[in-house]
Structures are given as C-alpha cells and as structure tokens.
C-alpha cells in the first residue's frame, strides 16, 4: 500500500477526509445504480437495450434522491450517537436512538419515494412507483441499514486503528522513559563507586591518582555522549569494561587475581549501552571488596555472529546475614534486559560454595557501522582484550 493510499484511508487532514467521504458516497451511488439497475436482467425475460438503459436510469435517480437521507443517517450515527453513547458505554441509549433514527429514516424514505423519486422516475420513464407504506418503509430501512452499516463499520475500523497506533506510541514512550530512568540510575551508581575508588587512592597519595582521573574522564565521556544512542558498537562496551577493570586494578593491586578470556570478533555487532558493566561492577563491589585476603574474578566472553555469551564468576565470603539482592546495578540490568531483549536473552544468576556466578546469553544485532577501523581498534585497546589475559 502506497503512502498516498495510506493517507487517503487513515489521515485526519481535511483534504484527505473530504476526498475520502466523496469517494465513499460516489461508491454508494454506483453500488445502488448497478444493483437495482441490473434487476431486470435477472428476471429471465429478454429485455431490450432501451429497457436496460431505463432500468439503470431509474436506479441512478433513486440513488441520488435517497442519498441526502443516507448521508444524514450515517453522519448522525457516526458523529453524534457513537461518540456520545457507544464510546461512553451507554448501550441502551445507543440502541434506542439508533432504532429511532432508522424508523424516521424509513418514514422519510417512503415520503421521498412518493413525492420525489416517483414523479422524477415517471418523468424520465414510463415506470410507475408504487406508494405502499409498508413496502416503502421496509425499502427505506433496507437502504439505510446498508449504507449506514458500511459507513459506521469504516468509522469504527478507523477509530480502532488510531487507538491502536496511539497505544503503540504510548507504549514506546513508556518504554523509553523507563529505560531512561534505569540508565540514569546506572550512571550515578557507577560514578559513586568509582569516586570511592579515587578517594581511597587520594588518601594513600597514590601515584596512580592522575591516571584514575584520566580514565574516569573517559568513562564519563562515554556515558554522557555515546550512551545516548539506543545501541552502541559492541567494541565500545568492551572497551568500557576494560577501562573499568584497569581502574579497579589500581585500587586492589596485588590483592586481586583477575582473568579475562575473550573469544571472537566484536566488529559489526551492536548492544545496548551499559548492559554488561553492572555485572562486572557487582563482582567487585560484592565480591572482591568483601574479601580480606586474595580476591579473584574470572570473566569469559564468547562472541559469535549475532550472539554474545558471558560467564562471570567471583569469590564471595560466606555469611549467615548475606543479602539476597546484589545491589541496584543487577536489578536495573535485569529490567533493561527484559525491556530491550524480550525473548532474546537468557540470564542465570546463582550462588555456589564461596562462588557467585552470572551466565548471560544475548542475541545481538549486526550493523556495518559498528565495524572498527584501524584508529578505533588502536584506541579501544582491544588487541589486549581479544587474547586470554591474567592480572
């Protein structure tokens, strides 16, 4: 269906609405002319071309005479009774007024048949219009039901279409607003933890403090600008994770045993921004930071065409008062996964003896723009990540 046809059917602009209504009423006149003008042909009797022409002329005259009555009935139901009673769920009043409208239409239709259509037909042809009240009333009801039925059906179809489009728009806006709220919660949460790290280094007067400030600046730049897009290249998300790991390495030093194993090529794939980082952040906050001795974290990523598999494990301290939840970060990322990747992800989070495990599988999208060029690959430090490393 072309854009012009789509606008002609659904557009609310006056130009399209006028054309749409004119076409409908012309179609009604054509319909009644063809239907009632063809009745003599179905009688089984041989008729002349003159008789056929007269039959179609009579049908056309009758269609034009009754057209204003059909227009009044249809617009009364569509623009007066349906909005006032049907949309307000006042069905008894609707049935009463619609029935009354049809009754008056049948009476006026008989009057038009006797006083207007009859003389007009007799003037152009030798056909005589009978003036039986009951038959005239039934004929008027039949014509009114046919035309107004089609008109109201079209009106209700357009109403449900626009309502469905509005619901889709509201749902999309609701989803967008909810994602913005969740993302806004990720930013300060991540920033709060990183500033704590920076504060600890500053108290120790560490020589790594300027390096942390520089990396934090890069992370903030990513979150403020690059994360505004619905999807970002996968390599950018991996670079963010790598920079975050580097920040944590400066904080923990030799007390942290961190292993990374990445297999596959991220080029060409896209992912929702800040989707993987909360899992990594949770491993440090609820794993490494709570272990007094040697802390360990293991990250394994398998990159396949249109799919990412991640397994993240970290040591935990057994405690009888251990919280069941694992911070706002994991709660937010679970909600975002359900909103952004419905039926396209599998997330398993479970605890074993002194081990916390996250297993995630996500179906990704491919975009040529997500492919790295040489400069981006150099800046992303991806060559160091795409091989198994051990910190």
Q: Answer yes or no: is 99 within a domain.
A: yes
pLDDT bucket at 348, cuts 50 / 70 / 90: very high
Residues 140, 33 share a domain: yes
Q: Answer yes or no: is 185 within a domain.
A: no
Which residue, among 72, 92, 84, has the nearest Cα to 25 in the 3D structure? 72
Q: Answer yes or no: is 318 within a domain.
A: yes
Question: Given this model, what pLDDT does residue 131 score?
Answer: 57
pTM of the model: 0.53
Q: Give dist(CA 82, CA 75) in Å, integer.
A: 10
pLDDT digits 0-9 by tens, 208-249:
788 778 877 877 787 777 777 778 899 888 988 888 888 777
Q: Answer yes or no: is 289 within a domain.
A: yes
| Mean pLDDT, all residues of the chain | 77
Better-predicted residue by pLDDT, 60 or 380: 60
Q: Answer yes or no: is 326 within a domain.
A: yes
Residues 363, 265 share a domain: yes
3-state secondary structure of 209: helix
Q: Answer yes or no: is 193 within a domain.
A: no
Residues 254, 126 share a domain: no
Q: DSSP per residue over 24-61, as a string?
A: HHHHHHHHHHHHHHTGGGGGSS---HHHHHHHHHHHHH
pLDDT digits 0-9 by tens, 31-74:
888 887 787 666 556 567 777 787 788 888 888 888 888 999 99
Residues 216, 110 share a domain: no
Question: Given this model, what pLDDT does residue 282 score?
Answer: 82
Residues 133, 7 share a domain: yes
Residues 121, 229 share a domain: no
pLDDT digits 0-9 by tens, 85-126:
988 889 999 999 999 998 888 888 877 777 776 666 665 555
pLDDT digits 0-9 by tens, 244-265:
888 777 777 777 888 899 998 8
pLDDT bucket at 361, cuts 50 / 70 / 90: very high
* Domain of residue 283, CATH code: 3.30.565.10
Mean per-residue pLDDT, 312-322: 72
Question: Given this model, what pLDDT does residue 185 score?
Answer: 55
Q: Is the pLDDT of residue 331 over 60?
A: yes
Considering 51-60, 190-199, 292-301, 357-366, the range whose residues carry the highest mean pLDDT is 357-366
Beta strands at 256-263 and 295-304: parallel, antiparallel or unpaired: parallel
Question: Given this model, what pLDDT does residue 386 score?
Answer: 44
Q: Give dist(CA 118, CA 65) in Å, integer.
A: 10
Query: Could you give the number of structural domains in the chain?
Result: 2
pLDDT bucket at 22, cuts 50 / 70 / 90: very high
Better-predicted residue by pLDDT, 71 or 321: 71
Domain enclosing residue 27, as ranges: 3-170
Which residue, among 350, 333, 301, 294, has the nearest Cα to 317 in the 3D structure? 294
pLDDT digits 0-9 by tens, 290-300:
555 678 899 99
Q: Answer yes or no: is 184 within a domain.
A: no
- Where does a domain end: 146, 170, 194? 170
Question: Given this model, what pLDDT does residue 96 score?
Answer: 93
């Amino acid at each position: 269906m072309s854009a012009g046809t789509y606008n002609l059917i659904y557009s609310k602009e006056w130009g399209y609405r006028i054309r749409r209504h004119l076409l409908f009423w012309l179609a009604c006149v054509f319909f009644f002319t063809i239907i009632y003008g063809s009745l003599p042909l179905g009688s089984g009797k041989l008729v002349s071309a003159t008789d056929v022409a007269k039959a179609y002329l009579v049908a056309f005259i009758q269609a034009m005479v009754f057209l204003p009555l059909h227009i009044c009935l249809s617009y009364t139901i569509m623009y007066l009774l349906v909005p006032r009673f049907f949309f307000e769920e006042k069905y008894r009043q609707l049935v009463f007024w619609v029935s009354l409208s049809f009754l008056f239409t049948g009476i006026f239709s008989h009057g038009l048949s006797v006083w207007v259509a009859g003389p007009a037909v007799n003037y152009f042809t030798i056909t005589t219009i009978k003036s039986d009240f009951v038959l005239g009333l039934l004929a008027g009801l039949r014509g009114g039901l046919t035309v107004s039925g089609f008109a109201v059906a079209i009106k209700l179809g357009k109403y449900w279409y626009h309502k469905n489009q509005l619901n889709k728009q509201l749902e999309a806006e609701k989803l967008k607003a909810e994602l913005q709220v969740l993302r806004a919660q990720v930013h300060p949460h991540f920033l709060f933890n990183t500033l704590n790290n920076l504060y600890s280094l500053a108290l120790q007067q560490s020589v790594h403090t300027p390096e942390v400030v520089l990396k934090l600046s890069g992370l903030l730049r990513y979150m403020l600008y690059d994360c505004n897009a619905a999807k970002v290249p996968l390599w950018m998300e991996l670079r963010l994770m790598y920079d975050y790991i580097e920040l944590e390495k400066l904080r923990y030093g030799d007390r942290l045993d961190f292993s990374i194993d990445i297999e596959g090529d991220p080029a060409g794939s896209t992912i929702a921004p800040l989707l993987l980082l909360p899992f990594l952040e949770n491993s440090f906050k609820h794993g490494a930071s709570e272990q007094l001795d040697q802390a360990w974290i293991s990250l394994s990523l398998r990159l396949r065409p249109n799919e990412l598999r991640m397994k993240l494990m970290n040591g935990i301290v057994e405690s009888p008062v251990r919280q069941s939840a694992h911070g706002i970060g994991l709660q937010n990322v679970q909600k975002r996964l359900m909103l952004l990747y419905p039926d396209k992800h599998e997330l398993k989070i479970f605890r074993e003896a002194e081990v916390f495990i996250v297993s995630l599988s996500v179906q990704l999208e491919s975009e040529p723009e997500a492919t790295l060029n040489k400069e981006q690959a150099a800046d992303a430090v991806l060559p160091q990540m795409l091989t198994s490393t051990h910190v």
